[in-house]
Structure 1
Amino acid sequence: MSSHDRNMQVEPEAAYCPYPLYSQLRERGVPFVEEAGAFMVTRADDVDSVLRDVETFSSRDALGLKPVEPGSEPTGAEFYLVTTDAPEHSRRRRLAARAFTSGRVARFEPQIRTMCAELIENLRGREEVDFVSDFAVKLPIAVIATVLGIPEADTGTMRRLSENVLSSLVGSPDPAGFRLACEEFGALLAPALEAAAGVEQETTILHTIAAAGLGGEDATRFVIELLFAGNVTTADAISSSTRLLAEDARLADRLRQDPSRLATFVEESLRLESPVQGLFRTATRDSEIGGCPVPAGARLLVSFGAGNRDAKLVERPDELDLDRVSPHAHLAFGRGAHTCLGHALARLEVRIAVEVLLGTVQRFELAVPPERLAYQRELTVRHLQSLPLRLYWS
């Protein structure tokens, strides 16, 4: 691991496969890791406890932009939900949750299926593709634009700005870059929000935002958060799921023969390769986690990725098991008050993407050795930068 003053960077081999490192950290309990400037919370029970105790462990520095000192000013790079605490978080989440009920999300399945089919058909005839750039990053941005009610012509700008948000939050955090992206998003959203405010029926999320009275900066930050969660992380989930199938032809064939297992496959993929590997918390008072004293003001890196590989969470945690009794019992979407708001939409997108891919392409495999796949060098995200695939068409 290399030193980093904000987030925890790792060497390429650890970015490719961080799970041995997670295992070592779990054995150490809740160690303070200098490279992260934080206590590492890696055991499933401890992850759950920290995420649920929102009074003791603040989400104010969830993105890890800088160490938070008691009474310090915000960084200026805050999201609408992920970096707020109760009661502000509770109030905002109630307003936002109405946009993501299971019924509302399910309405978009036909459109998502059509988008997937079109993207796959655009690849037909090509023997090799980069599945990340040719499919995985294109689908979520198209879906979230549809769900939001933003014109298709603006999706290119949305993709660029969401990538700017990602680059401003990982590697070398850049609050000024984040604020600039917010300003551009605000200008992009203003006409659509104004139009949505005059519509009585809530058919898109922008209509819901307008009806809830979210305007100006709040609406902008909410949409940016949706883009980050619904675009970047969903693209990562699609990429990781596809990689698992590309490396296991028998698994792919089993899912082709029995599509009823697709939902369980998606849950296992999310558990094994969580797109968000961890978020930060800040102790608001002296506390104890797993028998380890944690002083007030200390930062914690709460590792979903490590907790999901804990044998106390599931049996045979490093195996993908389509017969798991409770496949949803993972930490990929967090726990408690900050559970990912868009989890139903993310699950829907990944399931349909995998189903359409398996139903259209006869066989696919990695076009490069697995060890050549490059991941973002952070322990907070599982971001596959490219996925070269060899496709075999029927």
Structure 2
Amino acid sequence: MSLADLVGLAPDALRDPGPVYDELRAKGVHFAPEVNAYVVASHEDVGRVLRDAKRFSSTITVGNPPPSPTDDPNRLRPLLLLSDDPVHATRRSIVNRAFTPSQVRSWEPVVRRIAVQHVEALRDAGDVDLVERIAAPLPVRVISALLGVPADDVDQFRSWSEEITNSLGGHGGDPEKRARVQREFTGYMDALISRHSGEAGDDVLSTIVAADRAGELTRREAISFTIELLIAGNITTTHHLASSIKLLAETPGLADRLRAEPALIPRFIEESLRLESPIQGFYRLALEDSVVGGTEIPAGSRLLVLYQAANRDPAAWEQCPHLKLDRSNAAAHLAFGKGPHACIGSSLARLEGIVVIETLLDRLAEITLLTPADEVPYLASFINHGPTSLPAKLVFTPSAAA
């Protein structure tokens, strides 16, 4: 199995890219024509590039060419993902106001209420698809609630965000449909921001609206900010939850151990993120001649920086292909990136993972996956990663409160 298989979206490579990443690490940093970029795959080299934002720019990534003065005003451009300091630092400081540790902790009741609703809805439902019924709808409900989106609009939000992200690391797609979706999404968010009362608040939307009205953000930037957070809080977390549920269900004895030692659930979430990173990697642009892993990188070159390959690096992890709940460096993975562009919503994603697993363990005695492991379908993308369907038979715990 090779990089060509992964980029070509071969099902086996999408399901388990581990052998591809082993081969890429063994080659060291090298130019790969399949992605028109230098591939960076070791834990040490990936971490170095991610931390060195002065030499390796985020202003270019797959599917998003550099901005142009003639850009369509409805075109959505991620403001955090595709900017460098000092602009990035200024923009990120605005969102940081809504993602303080205490603020994220305060969202736990919202996340738990939504998780319980979704799990309880499966009682007596027979065989169900755990991606369709839990992993996909839950994150968009959570982030929509935090943004003040009416419940009736959540399904539309999910559809918009999936359409916008379906080209990341994939192929095809309808440009006209994507343009229409962006116009609809932009118009909706413009109206939502305009309707906001403007009263001070610690929630995400209030923070963005305050910045908009204080002149810290233009209205176009405020709209793009809100949509970027919605998509990041939806699609990536969906893949994270789907992979965590799959690991929980298919690992012998794991559910019993976590029920007996619930304090290990956060460690399980970290291992799930390491083993099945929802984002496989991103592109960077070399701003100057550099050397990475002993390989010369000319200025202007693209680098494909592979988080998941780094997280499977045996130089960084003992028994790296295996799930281990006693790792002392459990949270040292790069699933959320590193450095200035580390995922701003990582604490919320972790919280959602912990709460969903706690809820499943509390209310279900058994989760039996109905699709053989080597037939589980995965997202057709070499950037985003996660199972797209998990049919399962559920047995509820008799004592679980309805």
Q: Which band: TM-score by shorter chain?
A: over 0.9
Note if contact 2:168-2:384 (Cα within 8 Å) is conserved in structure 1.
Answer: no
Shift of 1:156: 1.4
1:380 and 2:383 correspond: yes
The match for 1:184 is: 184
The match for 2:330 is: 327
Matches within 5 A, 1:162-177: 162-172=161-171
1:304 and 2:307 correspond: yes
- Cα RMSD (Å) of the superposition? 2.3
The match for 2:400 is: none
1:366 maps to a residue whose letter is: L
2:33 maps to a residue whose letter is: E
2:189 maps to a residue whose letter is: L
The match for 1:223 is: 226
The match for 1:119 is: 118
Q: C-alpha separation between the residues in 1 aligned to 2:167 and 2:15? A: 22
1:21 and 2:24 correspond: no
The match for 1:283 is: 286
Shift of 1:238: 0.5
1:103 and 2:102 correspond: yes
The verdict on how the C-alpha distance between 1:68 and 1:203 changes in structure 2, with shifts beyond 3 A counting, is closer
The verdict on how the C-alpha distance between 1:126 and 1:249 changes in structure 2, with shifts beyond 3 A counting, is farther
The match for 2:195 is: 195
The match for 1:46 is: 45
The verdict on how the C-alpha distance between 1:42 and 1:72 changes in structure 2, with shifts beyond 3 A counting, is farther
Determine helix, strand or coil for the equivalent of 1:328: helix
> Please, which runs of 5 or more residues in structure 2 have no aligned partner?
398-402
Q: C-alpha separation between the residues in 2 aligned to 1:312 and 1:2? A: 21
Note if contact 2:98-2:202 (Cα within 8 Å) is conserved in structure 1.
Answer: no
Q: C-alpha separation between the residues in 2 aligned to 1:47 and 1:302? A: 6
TM-score, normalised on structure 2? 0.91
The verdict on how the C-alpha distance between 1:90 and 1:178 changes in structure 2, with shifts beyond 3 A counting, is farther
The verdict on how the C-alpha distance between 1:111 and 1:77 changes in structure 2, with shifts beyond 3 A counting, is closer
Matches within 5 A, 1:316-355: 316-355=319-358
CA offsets, 1:22-65, max 9 Å, x none? 01110100121121111111000100111111121111112x12
Shift of 1:126: 2.7
The match for 1:65 is: 63
Determine helix, strand or coil for the equivalent of 1:386: coil
The match for 2:250 is: 247
Shift of 1:228: 2.0
Note if contact 1:65-1:173 (Cα within 8 Å) is conserved in structure 2.
Answer: no
Q: C-alpha separation between the residues in 1 aligned to 2:368 and 2:349? A: 24
Matches within 5 A, 1:258-297: 258-297=261-300
1:367 and 2:370 correspond: yes
The match for 2:34 is: 35
The range that moved more, 382-391 or 301-310, is: 382-391
Shift of 1:384: 1.4
Shift of 1:114: 1.0
The verdict on how the C-alpha distance between 1:17 and 1:303 changes in structure 2, with shifts beyond 3 A counting, is same
1:344 maps to a residue whose letter is: S
Q: C-alpha separation between the residues in 2 aligned to 1:309 and 1:229? A: 23
1:189 maps to a residue whose letter is: M
The range that moved more, 41-50 or 381-390, is: 381-390
Shift of 1:215: 4.5
Determine helix, strand or coil for the equivalent of 1:371: helix
Determine helix, strand or coil for the equivalent of 2:253: helix
Shift of 1:141: 0.6
The verdict on how the C-alpha distance between 1:109 and 1:122 changes in structure 2, with shifts beyond 3 A counting, is same
Q: C-alpha separation between the residues in 2 aligned to 1:118 and 1:348? A: 17
Shift of 1:378: 2.7
Q: C-alpha separation between the residues in 2 aligned to 1:3 and 1:25? A: 11
Shift of 1:220: 1.7
The verdict on how the C-alpha distance between 1:216 and 1:177 changes in structure 2, with shifts beyond 3 A counting, is farther
Determine helix, strand or coil for the equivalent of 2:360: helix
CA offsets, 1:169-201, max 9 Å, x none? 3423667655543322222122321232x3332
Q: C-alpha separation between the residues in 1 aligned to 2:53 and 2:339? A: 8
Determine helix, strand or coil for the equivalent of 2:395: strand
Note if contact 1:147-1:205 (Cα within 8 Å) is conserved in structure 2.
Answer: yes
Note if contact 2:80-2:88 (Cα within 8 Å) is conserved in structure 1.
Answer: yes
Q: C-alpha separation between the residues in 1 aligned to 2:178 and 2:102? A: 33
The range that moved more, 328-337 or 204-213, is: 204-213
Note if contact 2:200-2:210 (Cα within 8 Å) is conserved in structure 1.
Answer: no
Note if contact 1:2-1:10 (Cα within 8 Å) is conserved in structure 2.
Answer: no
Determine helix, strand or coil for the equivalent of 1:281: strand
> Please, which runs of 5 or more residues in structure 1 have no aligned partner?
none
CA offsets, 1:356-376, max 9 Å, x none? 011111111210111110112
Q: C-alpha separation between the residues in 1 aligned to 2:93 and 2:358? A: 33
Q: C-alpha separation between the residues in 1 aligned to 2:43 and 2:108? A: 33
The verdict on how the C-alpha distance between 1:176 and 1:278 changes in structure 2, with shifts beyond 3 A counting, is farther
The match for 2:209 is: 210
Determine helix, strand or coil for the equivalent of 2:270: helix
CA offsets, 1:256-277, max 9 Å, x none? 1111111000001001000001
CA offsets, 1:132-173, max 9 Å, x none? 111111100110011111111211111110011112434236
Q: C-alpha separation between the residues in 2 aligned to 1:279 and 1:367? A: 33
